[in-house]
Amino acid sequence: MNNYKLISNIGAAMAIFCILFLPFVGCGGQNLTGIDVIKHSGIGTEIKFFVVASIISAGIVFALKKHIQLAVSAIAGIVSLLIAYLIAQSKMEGLELKFGAFLALIAYAVIAVTNFLGISEQNRNTNK
């Protein structure tokens, strides 16, 4: 396993852990993890859909091998989280992202940047 894939796998595991188990969002003094968001009956289906889509994007990273696929999966995870947040923010006042969401976004960014660097390295090696 190359270093780029190893970093991607660690980032994906971190993203999943951060979304599911760390304080993910806060509203009215209450902190919710991703599991709480998924289980909560008062939270809309579209928000749950995008949170789950983000988790699936991280899970897919473990199965992918090509740098471009890994980078696209990470970007999909970022976009899914941001869409879930924007939908939730429009429906609930005082909603704020907590450190679990920020760490997951950072993990996705690391996956994307790492694999874009891998693409760049592959292009340099093929041009030699």
Where are the domains positioned within the chain?
A: 3-112
pLDDT at 51: 96
Neighbours of 7 (CB within 10 A): 18
Q: At what angle do helices 99-127 and 67-91 cross, to 10 degrees?
A: 150
Confidence of residue 46 (pLDDT cuts 50, 70, 90): very high
What is the pTM assigned to this prediction?
A: 0.91
Give me the sign of the Cα torsion angle 104, 11, 120, 71: negative
Q: How much of the chain exceeds pLDDT 90, in percent?
A: 71
Confidence of residue 94 (pLDDT cuts 50, 70, 90): confident
Paired strand residues for 31 = 26
Cβ–Cβ under 8 Å, residues 54 and 19: yes
Strand order, beta sheet including 25-27: 30-32, 25-27, 96-97
